[in-house]
């Protein structure tokens, strides 16, 4: 998912030249206190773009400062408590083959129910953030790759988990960015889209057309569900499109222009009010200009995992020059090696970026002290063995020990690196 220093440096210079282990299931009492105080959003909190700024309906500027809920609704093996398989697709495929579709989703729901709870939204609010970005993938809503909808008890398409999250955030005054991390057919070759080496969304084939139809269907249903919700900050149509695909920036831009045009029009058919996020990663050349497409009320989003302050500063400056008249969002970032948190925040503030840390919570060795996350699993965590553990054992490992206050601890980098800029 993260690009190497050499590749980032070469691309950026090119652009500049052309313009919780069960015995440890004990509640963690450290960290900021949580609060249940209600700060529910109203229609006046609906966000829109005004020049370079994001503003609410009262005309007040809103700078989004928040965290990603990575590893919740879509898995990455380095962040999540499982082993013996690689990406989310293989997790689900293996569980389905072993236990059947219903039981497989029962296990996943056990994980979802415990990994993020009301406690987490309280905690995030208490830290001073005002937004969360929620990555999800199409298999949260389809039980297969063919578009079989997951239905609720009333026979309706089940969006209850997203509805729950948006409602909980709204009550706490937290905005939500709805992030399609993995679209039908997959929008990249990176495994964080749900399945590695599977970029089929752009294929000019009958199957590619069906993937696009399902993506349109899903986004229109989500937009219709949340069209009146002021807590939803924006629709993030595709996470890191064309990531890890071996192609030129021109080809990447052509593909992104094609798919974003389709999805933008589809969402606007049912929701004309919400912000729409257009993503480009590693360089700003990969996204078309909104003026050329006639797009309105959009935010351009970039992700950058930089190796030095100089490269980060160059990246945010070039991106601002490239998109001079719209809001910008650093949807994911983390300073590597010689880069510093202080410089990242200073640069983004200078050029008017909103930002989302990657990520809130993670499971893995040394995550309890990692700058990658605010909350890391305690030493001695257990991974579910997807191929060999029993149903009951996976359910146990994905149960209460995944609750933040039980199986996780503050990594320490919030107070040291992030809090001073909130």
State yes or no: pLDDT of 128 exceeds 90. yes
The per-residue pLDDT for range 349-394, each reduced to its tens digit, is 999 999 999 999 999 989 999 999 999 999 999 999 999 999 999 9
- Identify the CATH number of the domain in which residue 15 sits: 3.20.20.80
State how far the Cα of 187 lies from the Cα of 270, in Å rounded to an integer.
Answer: 23
Q: Given pLDDT bands bounded at 50, 70 and 90, which one contains residue 100?
A: very high
In a domain, 95, yes or no: yes
pLDDT of residue 353: 98
pLDDT above 50 for 15: no
Q: What is the mean pLDDT of the chain?
A: 91
Taking only Cα atoms into account, the Rg of the chain, rounded to an integer number of angstroms, comes to: 20
138-166: average pLDDT: 97
Element (H, E) at 50: strand 48-50
Q: Is 42 domain-assigned?
A: no
pLDDT, tens digit, 9 for 90 and up, residues 16-64: 333 333 333 444 444 454 443 457 899 999 999 999 999 999 999 999 9
Contact between 136 and 73 under an 8 Å Cβ cutoff? The reply is yes
Residue 16, pLDDT score: 39
**Contact criterion met (CB below 8 Å) for 9 and 98:** no
Q: How far apart are CA 27 and CA 111, in angstroms?
A: 18
Q: What is the pLDDT of residue 3?
A: 41
What percent of the chain is predicted at pLDDT more than 70? 91
> Quick one: tokens of 105?
């989703």
Average pLDDT rounded to a whole number, residues 170-194:
98
Mean pLDDT within 82-91: 97
C-alpha–C-alpha distance, residues 131 and 153, integer Å: 30
Residue 35 lies in a domain: no
pLDDT score at 306? 81
Task: Collect all residues with Cβ–Cβ distance below 8 Å to 389 and sequence separation of at least 6.
Answer: 397
Mean pLDDT, to the nearest integer, of 242-263?
93
Residue 11 burial (10 A CB sphere; 0-12, 13-18, 19+): middle
Counting beta carbons within 10 angstroms of the beta carbon of residue 93, is it exposed (0 to 12), middle (13 to 18) or buried (19 or more)?
Answer: middle
Asked, for residue 167, whether it belongs to a domain, the answer is yes
Number of domains in the chain: 1
- Rounded Cα gap, residues 147 and 137, in angstroms: 13
Decide if 388 contacts 374 (C-beta within 8 A).
no
Q: Which residue has 């997951």 as its token pair?
A: 150
For residue 82, the model assigns a pLDDT of 97
Q: Is residue 67 part of a domain?
A: yes
- What pLDDT score was predicted for residue 280? 86
Distance, CA of 422 to CA of 419 (rounded, Å): 5
Mean pLDDT of 174-197: 97
Interatomic CA distance for residues 316 and 188, integer angstroms: 23
Global pTM reads: 0.92
pLDDT range class, residue 2, cuts 50, 70, 90: very low
- Looking at residue 285, its pLDDT comes to 86
The answer as to whether 36 is a domain residue is no
Residue 4, pLDDT above cutoff 50: no
Closest CA to 358 of 381, 378, 374: 374
Q: How confident is the model over 78-99, as a mean pLDDT? A: 97
Tens digits of per-residue pLDDT, 315-343? 999 999 999 999 999 999 989 888 999 99
Q: Is residue 380 part of a domain?
A: yes
Report pLDDT digits (tens) over 225-250.
Answer: 999 999 999 999 999 999 999 998 88
Query: Domain containing 294: what range?
Result: 5-29+48-421
The answer to whether residue 39 is domain-embedded is no
With a pLDDT cut of 90, the percent of the chain lying above it is 83
Question: CA 410, CA 263: separation in Å to the nearest integer?
Answer: 38
Helix (H, G, I), strand (E, B) or coil at 309: helix
Return d(Cα 176, Cα 40) in angstroms, integer: 13
């Amino acid at each position: 998912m993260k690009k190497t220093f050499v590749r980032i440096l070469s691309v950026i210079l090119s652009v500049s030249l052309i313009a919780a282990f069960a015995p440890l299931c004990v509640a963690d009492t450290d960290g900021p206190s949580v609060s249940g105080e209600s700060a529910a959003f109203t229609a006046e909190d609906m966000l829109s773009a005004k020049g370079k700024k994001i503003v609410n309906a009262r005309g007040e500027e809103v700078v989004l400062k928040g965290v990603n809920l990575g590893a919740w609704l879509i898995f990455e093996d380095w962040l999540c408590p499982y082993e013996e398989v690689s990406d989310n697709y293989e997790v689900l495929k293996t569980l389905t083959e072993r236990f059947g579709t219903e039981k497989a989703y029962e296990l996943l729901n056990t994980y979802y129910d415990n990994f993020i709870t009301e406690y987490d939204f309280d905690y995030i609010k208490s830290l001073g953030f005002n937004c969360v970005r929620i990555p999800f993938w199409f298999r949260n809503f389809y039980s297969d790759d063919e578009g079989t909808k997951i239905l609720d008890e009333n026979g309706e398409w089940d969006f209850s988990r997203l509805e729950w999250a948006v409602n909980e955030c709204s009550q706490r005054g937290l905005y939500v960015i709805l992030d399609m991390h993995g679209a039908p057919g997959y929008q990249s070759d990176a495994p964080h889209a749900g399945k590695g080496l599977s970029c089929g969304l752009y294929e000019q084939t009958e199957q590619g057309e069906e993937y696009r139809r399902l993506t349109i269907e899903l986004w229109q249903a989500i937009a219709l569900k949340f069209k009146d919700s002021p807590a939803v900050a924006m629709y993030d149509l595709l996470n890191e499109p064309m990531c890890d695909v071996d192609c030129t920036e021109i080809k990447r831009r052509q593909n992104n222009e094609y798919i974003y045009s389709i999805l933008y029009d589809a969402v606007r058919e049912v929701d004309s009010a919400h912000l729409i996020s257009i993503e480009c990663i590693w360089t700003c050349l990969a996204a078309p200009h909104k003026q050329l497409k006639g797009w309105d009320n959009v935010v351009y989003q970039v992700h950058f995992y930089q190796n030095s302050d100089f490269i980060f500063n160059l990246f945010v400056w070039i991106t601002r020059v490239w998109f001079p008249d719209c809001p910008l969002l650093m949807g994911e970032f983390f300073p590597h090696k010689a880069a510093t948190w202080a410089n990242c925040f200073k640069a983004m503030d200078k050029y008017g970026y909103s930002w989302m840390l990657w990520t809130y919570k993670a499971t893995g060795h040394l995550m309890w002290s990692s700058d990658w996350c605010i909350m890391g699993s305690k030493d001695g965590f257990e991974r579910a063995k997807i191929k060999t553990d029993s149903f009951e054992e996976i359910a146990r490992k994905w149960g209460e020990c995944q609750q933040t206050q039980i199986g996780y601890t503050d990594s320490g980098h919030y107070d040291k690196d992030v809090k001073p800029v909130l």
